[in-house]
Amino acid sequence: MQLTWLLRITLFFTLLVILMGAYTRLSDAGLGCPDWPGCYGHIKVPTQDHEISHAQSLFPDHDIEPEKAWLEMIHRYIAGGLGLLVLSIWVLCLKTPEAPKKLPLFIVLLILFQGALGMWTVTMKLMPIVVMSHLIGGFSLISLLLLLYLRTRPRRIVASGTSVQNLAPLALVSLFVLIGQIMLGGWTSSNYAALACTVLPICEGNWMDNLAIADAFSPFQGQHPSFEFGVLDYHARMTIHIAHRIGAIITASLLLLLAYRLFVSTQLKALSLLLVGLLVLQVSLGISNVVMHLPLGIAVSHNGGAALLLLTLVAINYFLWHQSSSTSRV
């Protein structure tokens, strides 16, 4: 019971870190503090005159912007609290005989790597491949925490016979397609390509003749003093944005098919309806980002919607694959 509640709190904290990270990134506050783990050499944002003077002497090429710095530091504080919660889960799992042991250890290692990615995000000046990896690490963390939570709960019977065995592969493919779409979203955001196309459904102009796939998806973009606000040209950013839109169409179609099959063939009707509801919300938020030119609240909600969609698919896969393996053993 104690482990269950701790996992619930940690899942909430992880979602909060993801949302705060998105808010920080979309507020252009990713370099609000140019050092790590402190801020201008302090454990908090410098506010006193002598602290500001010391900060300016350490970082003469940076303008101190307290609002952005506080966003970055609050994100770090919450992430630090999340790290302590994850360590507590690991310790509690070690003390609980029936609890998994390998999965919580892997989660601890993942959050340590997330800390390193957070440091590299700052020290490498928002290099897109690092920023996207940090985002994917957060989504991986919340997915594994949900998996651990589900493994500590009693199993559910979702169906019987061949329907589950047939649906499990579709659910797994859907999960991987969604992960790919989330990665595309992270690449779009980290390269500041969210507003590269401002009309629907695909992009304005003769976009088919101006795709720059090699430049758009090269993981390394040369040496730059900073990657803040992006270094790619318009055609590369447009290509990234278009790929994300096409990916959205493919992902939405596949998830709708999965939701329909779940509804008519299994007892996971509530999860199938939740999947449809979250998908409609996510598509609406994506369209709103384009039409309203990326308002901060909607853009952050779009990140949260992606996390909730991922959690829903993780749960669906967990129930289907466990039931499928149970059925095959009978």
Catalytic residue list: 72
> Which residue, among 311, 319, 309, 310, has the nearest Cα to 262 in the 3D structure?
319
The neighbour count for residue 160, using CB atoms within 10 Å, is 13
Distance of alpha carbon 327 from alpha carbon 270, whole angstroms: 22
Q: Which two tokens stand for residue 31?
A: 């370099």
Estimate the share of the chain in helix, then strand, then coil, as percent rounded to the nearest 5. Answer: 70, 0, 30
> Which residue, among 52, 73, 189, 54, has the nearest Cα to 130 in the 3D structure?
189
Distance of alpha carbon 150 from alpha carbon 181, whole angstroms: 24
**Alpha-carbon distances of 22 from 26, 184, 222, 249, rounded to whole Å:** 6, 15, 25, 23
Q: Are 241 and 199 in contact (CB under 8 A)?
A: no
Distance of alpha carbon 131 from alpha carbon 221, whole angstroms: 13
